[in-house]
Amino acid sequence: TRPIVIAPSILSSDFSRLGEEVAAVDRMGADWIHLDVMDGHFVPNITFGPPIVKAIRASSAKVFDCHLMIAPCDPYIEAFADAGCDIITVHAEATTHLDRSLQAIKATGRRAGVALNPSTPESVIQYVLDRLDLVLLMTVNPGFGGQAFIPSVVDKIRRVKAMIGDRPIDIEVDGGVTPETAPLVVAAGANALVAGSAVFKGGTPEHYERNMAAIRDA
């Protein structure tokens, strides 16, 4: 079993003080920093791109876990690698040639992940397992923070866990993760927990510390 990782999504942070917010969750116990990149095309919302990632890179030495919700994704992989992302995750639904996209990530020397929407069957990763460092299972439809956890994905976590066997692949869950839902996903086999609103609620570093501890303790 792989170590439990808490990855705050800065989507729920105060964007006017992004560098400070990243430094605050780093100091208060984040393992990874989760970066939600949205293009207004693959998902109905727009966030930020490589220049912002590059700007906040100086605020934390922790793993930058980049979740690309963009289509196409291949033309931007190198730019996100150069901006300082350590893990680059593409959506299976956003690329016609998933194997090629994963090879492009590996060619940058970064860790490669694939994300699946709640309705996407886990079978799409079957023939790329040996290229993967991470599988990101969405427990909300991507695009916004603060949505309700979709419980049917818990069964998919179990199936993915069985598929990966003893390969060194992280199973990450993203969307509606709280102290209430965290135990369900960990029991099913997830080890990396993304949380946006559940970490940033309260708005001060002391809140972030308590919020992350509550998820970890759960």
User: d(Cα 196, Cα 218) in Å, to the nearest integer?
Assistant: 16
Residue owning tokens 């609620």: 201
How many positions of this chain bind ligand DX5 (CB under 6 A)?
21
Using CB under 6 A as the binding rule, whether residue 13 contacts ligand DX5 is answered as: no
Among Zn ion, ligand DX5, none, residue 66 binds (CB under 5-8 Å by kind): none
Annotated catalytic residue 174: yes
Nearest to 42 by CA among 120, 147, 133, 117: 117
State the helix-helix crossing angle for 18-27 and 205-217, rounded to 10 degrees: 40
Residue 154 tokens read as: 């818990």
Q: Is 144 annotated as a binding residue?
A: yes
Q: Is 149 annotated as a binding residue?
A: no
Q: Which of 174, 181, 195, 200 binds Zn ion (CB under 5 A)?
A: 174
Cα four-point dihedral sign 111, 116, 122, 123: negative
- Catalytic-labelled residue, pool 39, 74, 170, 174: 174
The residues assigned a catalytic role are: 36, 174
Q: Which residues bind Zn ion (CB under 5 A)?
A: 36, 67, 174
Q: Which residues bind ligand DX5 (CB under 6 A)?
A: 9, 11-12, 34, 36, 67, 140, 142-143, 145-147, 174-177, 194-198
